[in-house]
Amino acid sequence: MADPGPLTCLVCAQTWPARTPRCTCGYDFETRSPAFAIERLGREARHGNRIWRRGLVAFLLLPVAFFAVGSWPTAVMVALVQLICSVWWTVQGLIKADRANHRLDEARKLAQLPAARVIIRAKP
Ligand SMILES: [Zn+2]
């Protein structure tokens, strides 16, 4: 860690200048601990899941809102806005959850590494 070269995050592969204490994903360069990243990415994945579920619910409620609105042009406009929102939420939520889950896998792999190092060091 003493060499002044740029740092590459082991969780999300983003590059940072030397001596950056922590990546935006939560990986700690100083302690090499992915613990905070695991916690953060877990939250991010759950948030993504909530967004795409919201999109799905909005899509399923499309006919309800459509027939609840009395006048014809207003109903079409409301339905259109609802459709755009539902598709947007579903796509964004799925992308967010997928990206967070991939990084979470990387972070969890890193969490298992220090234990392996200790075992190797313990052998004479
Ligand atoms: Zn990172």
The string of pLDDT tens digits covering residues 46-67 is 999 999 999 999 999 999 888 8
pLDDT of 99 > 90? The answer is yes
Residue 27: its pLDDT value, please? 94
Query: Ligand 1 centroid vs 52 CA: distance in angstroms?
Result: 24
Query: Ligand 1 centroid vs 12 CA: distance in angstroms?
Result: 4
Element (H, E) at 76: helix 72-122
pLDDT band at 116 (very low <50, low <70, confident <90, very high): low
Query: Ligand 1 centroid vs 16 CA: distance in angstroms?
Result: 9
Domain boundaries, the chain: 7-122
Query: Ligand 1 centroid vs 55 CA: distance in angstroms?
Result: 28
Query: Ligand 1 centroid vs 17 CA: distance in angstroms?
Result: 13
Q: For the segment 12-27, what is each residue's pLDDT rounded down to a tens digit?
A: 999 999 989 999 999 9
Please state the separation of Cα 71 from the chain's center in Å: 41
Q: What is the pTM of this model?
A: 0.76
Of 95, 12, 14, which is closest to residue 49 (Cα–Cα)? Answer: 95
Query: Ligand 1 centroid vs 103 CA: distance in angstroms?
Result: 8
| Residue 102 identity (one-letter amino acid) | H
The CA distance from 103 to 100, in Å, is 5
